Amino acid sequence: MKKILQDLSLAELTQEIISLGERKFRAAQAFSGLLSGKTVEELPAVPKALKEKLLQTYENAPLAVEKTFYSSDGTEKYLFRLADGNLIEGVLMKYKYGYTQCVSTQAGCRMGCKFCASTLNGLIRNLTPGEILSQILLVNALHKNDADLAGEGKEKRAVTNVVLMGSGEPLDNYDNVIKFLRLLTAKEGLNVSARNISLSTCGLVPKMYRLADEGIPLNLTVSLHATEDSERQKIMPVARAYKIADILKACANYFNKTGRRYYFEYTLIDGENCDEAHAEALSALLKGKPCHVNLIRLNEVKERSLKATGDKNAYRFMGVLQKNGISATLRRQIGADIGGACGQLRAAYVKEKNEREIAAKDVRD
Ligand code: SAH
Protein backbone atom coordinates (compact mmCIF):
# COMPACT_ATOMS: atom_id res chain seq x y z
CA MET A 1 0.00 0.00 0.00
CA LYS A 2 1.18 3.54 -0.72
CA LYS A 3 1.33 6.24 1.94
CA ILE A 4 -1.71 8.27 3.04
CA LEU A 5 -1.55 11.99 2.26
CA GLN A 6 -4.24 12.76 4.86
CA ASP A 7 -1.82 11.56 7.57
CA LEU A 8 0.03 14.85 7.18
CA SER A 9 -0.60 18.08 9.06
CA LEU A 10 -0.47 21.30 7.05
CA ALA A 11 3.12 21.87 8.24
CA GLU A 12 4.16 18.35 7.18
CA LEU A 13 2.39 18.64 3.84
CA THR A 14 4.19 21.93 3.24
CA GLN A 15 7.55 20.25 3.86
CA GLU A 16 6.58 17.44 1.49
CA ILE A 17 5.48 19.81 -1.27
CA ILE A 18 8.68 21.86 -0.94
CA SER A 19 10.78 18.70 -1.08
CA LEU A 20 9.02 17.84 -4.35
CA GLY A 21 10.36 21.14 -5.71
CA GLU A 22 7.04 22.97 -5.58
CA ARG A 23 6.04 26.33 -4.12
CA LYS A 24 4.63 26.58 -0.63
CA PHE A 25 1.18 27.89 -1.57
CA ARG A 26 0.51 24.61 -3.38
CA ALA A 27 0.46 22.92 0.03
CA ALA A 28 -2.35 25.19 1.26
CA GLN A 29 -4.29 24.47 -1.95
CA ALA A 30 -3.84 20.72 -1.61
CA PHE A 31 -4.63 20.75 2.11
CA SER A 32 -7.87 22.62 1.61
CA GLY A 33 -8.92 20.23 -1.17
CA LEU A 34 -8.16 17.20 1.01
CA LEU A 35 -10.16 18.74 3.88
CA SER A 36 -13.18 18.94 1.64
CA GLY A 37 -12.91 15.21 0.97
CA LYS A 38 -11.35 15.31 -2.51
CA THR A 39 -9.10 12.56 -3.83
CA VAL A 40 -5.61 13.54 -5.04
CA GLU A 41 -6.81 13.36 -8.65
CA GLU A 42 -9.74 15.67 -7.86
CA LEU A 43 -7.77 18.35 -5.97
CA PRO A 44 -8.93 21.71 -7.33
CA ALA A 45 -6.29 24.24 -8.50
CA VAL A 46 -3.40 21.80 -8.01
CA PRO A 47 -1.47 21.29 -11.30
CA LYS A 48 -1.60 17.88 -12.92
CA ALA A 49 2.17 17.46 -12.71
CA LEU A 50 2.11 17.86 -8.94
CA LYS A 51 -0.78 15.42 -8.62
CA GLU A 52 1.23 12.90 -10.61
CA LYS A 53 4.23 13.35 -8.35
CA LEU A 54 2.07 12.89 -5.27
CA LEU A 55 0.44 9.78 -6.70
CA GLN A 56 3.81 8.08 -7.05
CA THR A 57 4.05 7.95 -3.24
CA TYR A 58 0.51 8.43 -1.98
CA GLU A 59 -2.84 6.69 -2.41
CA ASN A 60 -5.34 8.60 -4.52
CA ALA A 61 -7.87 8.08 -1.70
CA PRO A 62 -7.42 6.35 1.65
CA LEU A 63 -10.92 4.97 1.56
CA ALA A 64 -14.18 5.00 -0.35
CA VAL A 65 -17.78 4.33 0.59
CA GLU A 66 -18.53 0.70 -0.27
CA LYS A 67 -22.15 0.80 0.86
CA THR A 68 -24.51 3.03 2.86
CA PHE A 69 -27.40 1.77 4.96
CA TYR A 70 -30.18 4.17 5.92
CA SER A 71 -32.18 3.63 9.09
CA SER A 72 -35.77 4.76 9.44
CA ASP A 73 -34.62 7.04 12.31
CA GLY A 74 -32.21 8.98 10.07
CA THR A 75 -29.08 7.16 11.23
CA GLU A 76 -26.70 6.22 8.42
CA LYS A 77 -24.24 3.37 8.56
CA TYR A 78 -21.29 3.36 6.26
CA LEU A 79 -19.12 0.53 5.12
CA PHE A 80 -15.81 1.97 3.95
CA ARG A 81 -13.29 0.16 1.77
CA LEU A 82 -9.67 0.97 2.59
CA ALA A 83 -7.07 1.20 -0.15
CA ASP A 84 -5.86 -2.34 0.67
CA GLY A 85 -9.40 -3.72 0.38
CA ASN A 86 -10.12 -4.06 4.10
CA LEU A 87 -13.55 -2.98 5.24
CA ILE A 88 -14.37 -0.81 8.24
CA GLU A 89 -17.60 0.77 9.37
CA GLY A 90 -18.87 4.06 10.66
CA VAL A 91 -22.16 5.53 11.83
CA LEU A 92 -23.67 8.98 11.41
CA MET A 93 -26.26 10.02 13.96
CA LYS A 94 -28.35 13.13 13.37
CA TYR A 95 -29.28 15.29 16.31
CA LYS A 96 -30.83 18.75 16.48
CA TYR A 97 -27.54 20.37 17.45
CA GLY A 98 -25.54 18.68 14.73
CA TYR A 99 -24.27 15.37 13.45
CA THR A 100 -22.27 12.91 15.48
CA GLN A 101 -20.03 10.52 13.62
CA CYS A 102 -18.74 7.29 15.10
CA VAL A 103 -15.36 6.32 13.63
CA SER A 104 -13.32 3.12 13.59
CA THR A 105 -9.71 3.16 14.75
CA GLN A 106 -8.68 -0.35 13.74
CA ALA A 107 -9.78 -2.94 11.19
CA GLY A 108 -10.90 -5.68 13.57
CA CYS A 109 -9.86 -5.65 17.22
CA ARG A 110 -7.78 -7.88 19.47
CA MET A 111 -9.56 -7.20 22.77
CA GLY A 112 -11.88 -10.21 22.48
CA CYS A 113 -14.94 -8.83 24.32
CA LYS A 114 -17.58 -11.55 24.33
CA PHE A 115 -20.49 -9.36 23.22
CA CYS A 116 -18.74 -7.56 20.38
CA ALA A 117 -18.76 -8.40 16.66
CA SER A 118 -15.68 -6.32 15.74
CA THR A 119 -13.34 -8.70 17.48
CA LEU A 120 -14.72 -11.95 16.04
CA ASN A 121 -11.74 -12.36 13.70
CA GLY A 122 -9.14 -10.57 15.81
CA LEU A 123 -7.11 -7.54 14.78
CA ILE A 124 -6.51 -7.10 11.08
CA ARG A 125 -4.50 -3.87 11.31
CA ASN A 126 -4.25 -0.44 12.85
CA LEU A 127 -5.68 2.47 10.88
CA THR A 128 -3.42 5.41 10.13
CA PRO A 129 -4.38 8.91 11.37
CA GLY A 130 -5.45 9.89 7.86
CA GLU A 131 -7.58 6.78 7.43
CA ILE A 132 -9.47 7.66 10.61
CA LEU A 133 -9.78 11.32 9.59
CA SER A 134 -10.90 10.48 6.06
CA GLN A 135 -13.98 8.69 7.39
CA ILE A 136 -15.13 12.14 8.54
CA LEU A 137 -13.89 14.00 5.45
CA LEU A 138 -15.95 11.69 3.23
CA VAL A 139 -19.12 11.95 5.30
CA ASN A 140 -18.80 15.74 5.51
CA ALA A 141 -18.45 15.87 1.74
CA LEU A 142 -21.53 13.70 1.25
CA HIS A 143 -23.51 16.01 3.55
CA LYS A 144 -22.10 19.33 2.49
CA ASN A 145 -25.50 20.57 1.47
CA ASP A 146 -26.96 19.97 4.93
CA ALA A 147 -24.07 21.90 6.48
CA ASP A 148 -26.26 24.89 7.24
CA LEU A 149 -27.94 22.70 9.85
CA ALA A 150 -24.81 22.54 11.92
CA GLY A 151 -21.16 23.47 12.22
CA GLU A 152 -19.53 26.63 13.43
CA GLY A 153 -17.48 29.41 11.89
CA LYS A 154 -17.29 30.32 8.27
CA GLU A 155 -16.55 26.79 7.13
CA LYS A 156 -19.74 25.06 8.17
CA ARG A 157 -19.40 21.33 8.28
CA ALA A 158 -22.01 18.66 8.85
CA VAL A 159 -20.12 16.60 11.44
CA THR A 160 -19.80 18.57 14.68
CA ASN A 161 -19.22 15.72 17.12
CA VAL A 162 -16.98 12.69 16.84
CA VAL A 163 -17.01 9.52 18.91
CA LEU A 164 -14.24 6.91 18.75
CA MET A 165 -16.57 3.99 19.28
CA GLY A 166 -16.48 2.14 15.99
CA SER A 167 -14.44 -0.99 15.51
CA GLY A 168 -11.13 -1.20 17.31
CA GLU A 169 -9.68 -0.20 20.64
CA PRO A 170 -8.45 3.40 20.21
CA LEU A 171 -5.84 3.19 22.95
CA ASP A 172 -4.40 0.02 21.38
CA ASN A 173 -3.51 2.19 18.35
CA TYR A 174 -2.30 4.99 20.57
CA ASP A 175 0.13 7.04 18.47
CA ASN A 176 -2.07 7.03 15.37
CA VAL A 177 -5.14 7.96 17.38
CA ILE A 178 -3.34 10.86 19.07
CA LYS A 179 -2.13 12.13 15.70
CA PHE A 180 -5.68 11.80 14.36
CA LEU A 181 -6.99 13.82 17.33
CA ARG A 182 -4.43 16.54 16.64
CA LEU A 183 -5.45 16.67 12.97
CA LEU A 184 -9.14 16.73 13.92
CA THR A 185 -8.76 19.56 16.42
CA ALA A 186 -6.23 21.61 14.39
CA LYS A 187 -7.38 25.21 13.79
CA GLU A 188 -6.39 24.98 10.13
CA GLY A 189 -8.00 21.53 9.90
CA LEU A 190 -11.56 20.51 10.77
CA ASN A 191 -11.20 22.51 14.00
CA VAL A 192 -13.44 20.20 16.02
CA SER A 193 -13.40 21.11 19.70
CA ALA A 194 -12.02 18.43 22.07
CA ARG A 195 -15.21 18.91 24.08
CA ASN A 196 -17.12 17.49 21.13
CA ILE A 197 -14.99 14.36 20.94
CA SER A 198 -15.51 11.18 22.96
CA LEU A 199 -13.01 8.36 23.15
CA SER A 200 -14.19 5.00 24.40
CA THR A 201 -11.76 2.47 25.81
CA CYS A 202 -12.10 -0.99 27.31
CA GLY A 203 -9.77 0.32 30.02
CA LEU A 204 -6.09 0.19 29.00
CA VAL A 205 -4.93 1.83 32.22
CA PRO A 206 -1.38 2.98 31.35
CA LYS A 207 -2.64 4.59 28.14
CA MET A 208 -5.42 6.34 30.06
CA TYR A 209 -2.70 8.04 32.13
CA ARG A 210 -0.81 9.03 28.97
CA LEU A 211 -3.96 10.43 27.41
CA ALA A 212 -4.52 12.68 30.43
CA ASP A 213 -1.19 14.38 29.66
CA GLU A 214 -1.73 14.98 25.93
CA GLY A 215 -3.51 18.32 26.36
CA ILE A 216 -6.58 17.13 24.45
CA PRO A 217 -9.43 17.46 26.98
CA LEU A 218 -11.87 15.12 25.26
CA ASN A 219 -14.63 13.08 26.92
CA LEU A 220 -13.09 9.88 28.22
CA THR A 221 -15.45 6.93 28.29
CA VAL A 222 -14.68 3.54 29.78
CA SER A 223 -16.57 0.38 28.89
CA LEU A 224 -17.20 -1.09 32.32
CA HIS A 225 -20.01 -3.64 31.88
CA ALA A 226 -19.45 -5.23 35.31
CA THR A 227 -18.91 -4.23 38.92
CA GLU A 228 -16.51 -6.98 39.95
CA ASP A 229 -13.26 -8.05 38.33
CA SER A 230 -14.26 -11.73 38.31
CA GLU A 231 -17.49 -10.92 36.46
CA ARG A 232 -15.76 -8.51 34.11
CA GLN A 233 -13.16 -11.12 33.21
CA LYS A 234 -15.91 -13.42 31.96
CA ILE A 235 -16.97 -10.97 29.26
CA MET A 236 -13.82 -8.86 28.76
CA PRO A 237 -10.43 -10.62 28.60
CA VAL A 238 -8.71 -7.25 29.15
CA ALA A 239 -10.06 -7.33 32.72
CA ARG A 240 -7.40 -9.94 33.51
CA ALA A 241 -4.78 -7.26 32.93
CA TYR A 242 -6.44 -4.24 34.58
CA LYS A 243 -8.55 -4.17 37.71
CA ILE A 244 -11.66 -2.01 38.07
CA ALA A 245 -10.05 -0.21 41.03
CA ASP A 246 -7.09 0.78 38.82
CA ILE A 247 -9.42 1.95 36.07
CA LEU A 248 -11.21 4.18 38.59
CA LYS A 249 -7.86 5.63 39.72
CA ALA A 250 -6.94 6.37 36.11
CA CYS A 251 -10.33 8.09 35.63
CA ALA A 252 -9.79 10.21 38.75
CA ASN A 253 -6.38 11.21 37.40
CA TYR A 254 -8.02 12.14 34.08
CA PHE A 255 -10.46 14.38 35.92
CA ASN A 256 -7.69 16.00 37.98
CA LYS A 257 -5.57 16.69 34.91
CA THR A 258 -8.27 17.81 32.49
CA GLY A 259 -11.15 19.00 34.67
CA ARG A 260 -13.44 16.87 32.52
CA ARG A 261 -15.93 14.50 34.08
CA TYR A 262 -15.68 10.99 32.71
CA TYR A 263 -18.20 8.49 31.42
CA PHE A 264 -18.88 4.79 31.77
CA GLU A 265 -20.60 2.57 29.32
CA TYR A 266 -22.51 -0.28 30.78
CA THR A 267 -24.08 -2.71 28.34
CA LEU A 268 -27.02 -4.54 29.89
CA ILE A 269 -26.70 -8.28 29.32
CA ASP A 270 -29.62 -10.35 30.52
CA GLY A 271 -28.87 -12.69 33.41
CA GLU A 272 -25.25 -11.47 33.57
CA ASN A 273 -24.89 -7.91 34.83
CA CYS A 274 -28.22 -6.15 35.18
CA ASP A 275 -30.24 -7.30 38.14
CA GLU A 276 -31.00 -5.01 41.05
CA ALA A 277 -27.97 -6.15 43.06
CA HIS A 278 -25.71 -5.14 40.15
CA ALA A 279 -27.35 -1.71 40.03
CA GLU A 280 -26.72 -1.27 43.76
CA ALA A 281 -23.11 -2.45 43.38
CA LEU A 282 -22.54 -0.08 40.47
CA SER A 283 -23.98 2.78 42.52
CA ALA A 284 -21.66 1.99 45.42
CA LEU A 285 -18.67 1.82 43.10
CA LEU A 286 -19.35 5.22 41.51
CA LYS A 287 -20.90 7.11 44.44
CA GLY A 288 -19.65 10.70 44.61
CA LYS A 289 -17.48 10.41 41.49
CA PRO A 290 -17.66 13.10 38.77
CA CYS A 291 -18.99 10.69 36.18
CA HIS A 292 -21.99 9.78 34.09
CA VAL A 293 -23.20 6.30 33.17
CA ASN A 294 -24.48 5.49 29.70
CA LEU A 295 -26.55 2.36 29.81
CA ILE A 296 -26.64 0.52 26.51
CA ARG A 297 -29.02 -2.20 25.45
CA LEU A 298 -27.06 -5.15 24.14
CA ASN A 299 -27.27 -5.49 20.41
CA GLU A 300 -27.43 -9.21 20.11
CA VAL A 301 -24.65 -10.59 17.94
CA LYS A 302 -25.60 -13.71 15.99
CA GLU A 303 -22.27 -15.39 16.60
CA ARG A 304 -22.58 -14.90 20.37
CA SER A 305 -25.02 -16.37 22.86
CA LEU A 306 -25.51 -13.28 25.08
CA LYS A 307 -29.01 -11.82 25.28
CA ALA A 308 -30.36 -8.30 25.64
CA THR A 309 -32.47 -7.46 28.67
CA GLY A 310 -36.04 -6.15 28.37
CA ASP A 311 -36.96 -2.47 28.50
CA LYS A 312 -38.64 -2.88 31.87
CA ASN A 313 -35.47 -4.20 33.47
CA ALA A 314 -33.33 -1.59 31.73
CA TYR A 315 -35.47 1.23 33.17
CA ARG A 316 -35.49 -0.41 36.58
CA PHE A 317 -31.68 -0.63 36.51
CA MET A 318 -31.43 3.05 35.60
CA GLY A 319 -33.95 3.93 38.30
CA VAL A 320 -31.79 2.32 40.99
CA LEU A 321 -28.73 4.29 39.84
CA GLN A 322 -30.68 7.55 39.82
CA LYS A 323 -32.25 6.89 43.21
CA ASN A 324 -28.69 6.49 44.50
CA GLY A 325 -27.64 9.83 43.05
CA ILE A 326 -25.69 8.46 40.08
CA SER A 327 -26.13 10.40 36.85
CA ALA A 328 -27.29 7.87 34.26
CA THR A 329 -29.11 7.67 30.97
CA LEU A 330 -30.34 4.76 28.91
CA ARG A 331 -29.06 5.19 25.39
CA ARG A 332 -31.78 5.43 22.82
CA GLN A 333 -31.51 2.51 20.47
CA ILE A 334 -30.39 3.95 17.20
CA GLY A 335 -30.12 2.34 13.85
CA ALA A 336 -31.09 -1.06 15.27
CA ASP A 337 -32.74 -1.95 11.97
CA ILE A 338 -29.42 -1.58 10.13
CA GLY A 339 -27.06 -3.67 12.25
CA GLY A 340 -26.56 -1.39 15.24
CA ALA A 341 -23.52 -2.70 17.07
CA CYS A 342 -19.85 -2.51 16.41
CA GLY A 343 -18.69 -4.77 13.65
CA GLN A 344 -22.09 -6.29 13.00
CA LEU A 345 -22.53 -4.58 9.68
CA ARG A 346 -19.13 -5.58 8.41
CA ALA A 347 -19.52 -9.15 9.64
CA ALA A 348 -22.92 -9.49 7.97
CA TYR A 349 -21.71 -7.90 4.74
CA VAL A 350 -18.57 -10.02 4.48
CA LYS A 351 -20.60 -13.16 5.18
CA GLU A 352 -23.23 -12.27 2.58
CA LYS A 353 -20.53 -11.42 0.05
CA ASN A 354 -18.66 -14.66 0.71
CA GLU A 355 -21.87 -16.62 0.32
CA ARG A 356 -22.59 -14.81 -2.95
CA GLU A 357 -19.08 -15.55 -4.18
CA ILE A 358 -19.30 -19.19 -3.13
CA ALA A 359 -22.67 -19.47 -4.86
CA ALA A 360 -21.22 -17.89 -8.01
CA LYS A 361 -18.29 -20.30 -7.85
CA ASP A 362 -20.71 -23.24 -7.45
CA VAL A 363 -22.49 -22.10 -10.58
CA ARG A 364 -19.16 -21.83 -12.46
CA ASP A 365 -17.97 -25.24 -11.23
N1 SAH B 1 -12.91 -0.59 22.09
C2 SAH B 1 -13.61 0.53 22.63
C3 SAH B 1 -14.53 1.24 21.67
C4 SAH B 1 -15.40 0.44 20.74
S5 SAH B 1 -16.88 -0.24 21.31
C6 SAH B 1 -14.31 0.14 23.90
O7 SAH B 1 -14.26 -1.02 24.27
O8 SAH B 1 -14.88 1.00 24.55
C9 SAH B 1 -17.97 1.03 21.76
C10 SAH B 1 -18.95 0.55 22.83
O11 SAH B 1 -19.90 -0.40 22.31
C12 SAH B 1 -18.25 -0.17 23.99
O13 SAH B 1 -18.79 0.24 25.22
C14 SAH B 1 -18.58 -1.61 23.72
O15 SAH B 1 -18.43 -2.36 24.88
C16 SAH B 1 -19.98 -1.51 23.18
N17 SAH B 1 -20.44 -2.68 22.43
C18 SAH B 1 -19.74 -3.49 21.63
N19 SAH B 1 -20.52 -4.46 21.13
C20 SAH B 1 -21.75 -4.23 21.61
C21 SAH B 1 -23.01 -4.89 21.45
N22 SAH B 1 -23.12 -5.99 20.71
N23 SAH B 1 -24.06 -4.37 22.09
C24 SAH B 1 -23.95 -3.26 22.85
N25 SAH B 1 -22.81 -2.61 23.04
C26 SAH B 1 -21.71 -3.09 22.44
Task: Choose one of 205, 265, 270, 303 to mutate for the ligand 1 pocket test, by most ligand atoms within 8 angstroms of C-beta.
Answer: 265
| Ligand 1 closest atom vs CA 168 | 1
Ligand 1: centre distance to CA 37 (Å): 28
Q: Which amino acid is at 296?
A: I
Ligand 1: centre distance to CA 207 (Å): 18
In whole angstroms, give the CA distance from residue 271 to residue 273.
6
Asked whether 104 lines ligand 1 (CB < 6 A), one says no
The pLDDT of 181-191, averaged and rounded, is 97
Q: What is the DSSP string of 236-293?
A: -GGGGTS-HHHHHHHHHHHHHHH---EEEEEEEBTTTT-SHHHHHHHHHHHTT-SEEE
Asked whether 223 lines ligand 1 (CB < 6 A), one says yes
Q: What is the pLDDT of residue 305?
A: 85
Q: What is the pLDDT of residue 18?
A: 97
pLDDT(356) > 60: no
Residue 277, CA distances (Å) to 166, 281, 282 in order:
31, 6, 9
Task: Choose one of 100, 164, 200 to mutate for the ligand 1 pocket test, by most ligand atoms within 8 angstroms of C-beta.
Answer: 200
| Ligand 1 closest atom vs CA 221 | 8
| Ligand 1 closest atom vs CA 301 | 22
| Ligand 1 closest atom vs CA 222 | 8
Residue 89 designated active-site:
yes
**Nearest 10 degrees: Cα torsion 340, 346, 348, 354:** 170
Mean residue pLDDT across the chain: 91
Ligand 1: centre distance to CA 342 (Å): 6
Residue 342 designated active-site:
yes
Q: CB within 8 A of 322, min separation 6: which ones?
A: 328
In whole angstroms, give the CA distance from residue 314 to residue 297.
8
pLDDT(154) > 60: no
Least reliable range by pLDDT among 46-50, 129-133, 297-301, 327-331: 297-301
In whole angstroms, give the CA distance from residue 4 to residue 61.
8
SS3 204: coil
Ligand 1: centre distance to CA 39 (Å): 32
**Residue 23 main-chain phi, psi, to 5 deg:** -80, 155
CA 268 to chain centre: 20
**Nearest 10 degrees: Cα torsion 107, 109, 115, 117:** 20
Percentage of the chain with pLDDT > 90? 82
The pLDDT of 85-90, averaged and rounded, is 95
